[in-house]
Structure 1
């Protein structure tokens, strides 16, 4: 896996985007790396606000910024021409640019020239180096959980982060395994699987979650969705390569159609569970679904509680919003499913 180091602190660049779903990178950094974030830098027509301190580039530098992090994840990973003057100025001022987009900024002439003339560097997180093996399919030691979803951008990363934190707090050895640009920025290491040639995605997933201690859990950040025609290939490769012992299905209660294909309806949660288990059983016949993670930010508290309770009754699984209700019930379910004797002893001591 590639390991990268971001010079701290940094300012998050939001550009001139109008859709809040395109700034999930910035939102993730604001939540998980708050002490390292000085503020946000927005162009005049930007309609998205993360609620951070508003900074110009000059103000960010005066506050000690060492890096400019692109907090936008555009469809296709393109770079808008309107962003380039800010990037050039940042490099000329000696700031690093942390780029999680598919576009290699080093291939843009004016940015390459600015980089050569200054101490600022372009760090392209998605530009993977080296060769990846094809998957072997061999069983590896240790335990693995993969977050999957009904669509893209439904909380797979946040669920994995919250769960790994909760497991470690509960005394269970767990590691968050980042597979996307935001997760890599948060964790400091990882592998952007959507930049790996399709034949080698499963092999890359094996590298992400190697042999480990028998009771160690790799909490692997899922990507895309088997139900999204645009990104299903990476989802299946990650599912087979990670050989999960458990999955958590992620969903957004406000979502009705596939994000990139609005003519496609979102699957039911039961259909999502069934298809993922069917595909995962090819590499791990004992895989199981231990719960549902739902983004309920569009609901008020009463509606949220009503929805999650009804969903639990329907599916017979714990259903949570990890950023609001936490992951305790998911952790309890994992313990009951995989460590039943320890769970019974713990209950007996209460």
Structure 2
């Protein structure tokens, strides 16, 4: 794998990040890509883990890349493309994870995301398998990821929060979505229960030309 260059590449990129591991980053990326494909938009799902590679048939297992080359691997995963093409990049780990923050940072730098979606499971109190590490506040997580991502893309923005509400009933899910949306001012959705249609609508509004058709 090459060393990262930090050079700006053509095309649009969305990266899923998380408050923790196993918070829905892969499924959220797949759901956004599936919605774009349903509309005939030009987009690619970029797998960064073994399961994502099994699903898509290609990608880079970023946790198997030597750390000095991980950002470079992320660059090669989403190369120059049509200016309105979207790469939907599967995130890994969390900046707040005591073991896996490094791979998250490499993806933030190498992907040069224009947009990030923060993935979160409501009700989770601590980092999975690390009870002494409390889960970060959602806004602190957004700020940390944006700060890190601005090294290679100063214009990055958070476009939404994807929730894993599988442990909640419909009433609880709707209440959590409304509350978090009011508190953050962001689009909040569950990619399983509510789908990614509103998120793709938002991307098309923010970045005119994102409805560029698939060729």
Specify the TM-score bucket, using the shorter chain as the normaliser: over 0.9
- Please, what is the CA RMSD of the aligned residues? 1.3
- In the alignment, is the contact (CA less than 8 A) between 1:228 and 1:260 conserved in 2? no
The answer for the alignment partner of 1:159 in structure 2 is 28
1:36-115 paired onto structure 2 within 5 Å: none
Shift of 1:301: 0.3
Asked if 1:274 is matched to 2:147, the reply is: no
Which of these residues, 298, 309, 326, is aligned with residue 167 of structure 2?
A: 298
The answer for the alignment partner of 1:321 in structure 2 is 190
CA 1:220 to 1:341, structure 2 compared with 1: closer, same or farther past 3 Å? closer
Q: Secondary structure at the match of 1:189?
A: coil
- In the alignment, is the contact (CA less than 8 A) between 1:230 and 1:260 conserved in 2? no
CA 1:294 to 1:341, structure 2 compared with 1: closer, same or farther past 3 Å? closer
Which of these residues, 40, 44, 52, is aligned with residue 171 of structure 1?
A: 40
**CA–CA separation in structure 2 for the residues paired with 1:221 and 1:325:** 20
- In the alignment, is the contact (CA less than 8 A) between 1:143 and 1:217 conserved in 2? yes
The answer for the alignment partner of 2:8 in structure 1 is 139
TM score, norm. by length of structure 2: 0.95
Q: Secondary structure at the match of 1:249?
A: strand
Q: Greater CA radius of gyration, 1 or 2?
A: 1
- In the alignment, is the contact (CA less than 8 A) between 1:144 and 1:244 conserved in 2? yes
- In the alignment, is the contact (CA less than 8 A) between 2:85 and 2:210 conserved in 1? no
- In the alignment, is the contact (CA less than 8 A) between 2:11 and 2:81 conserved in 1? yes
**CA–CA separation in structure 1 for the residues paired with 2:139 and 2:68:** 29
Larger RCO (alpha carbons 8 Å, 6+ apart): 2
Unaligned runs of 5+ in 1: 1-131, 343-350
TM score, norm. by length of structure 1: 0.59
Unaligned runs of 5+ in 2: none
Runs of 4+ in 1 over 4 A off after TM superposition: none
Shift of 1:196: 0.3
The answer for the alignment partner of 2:87 in structure 1 is 218
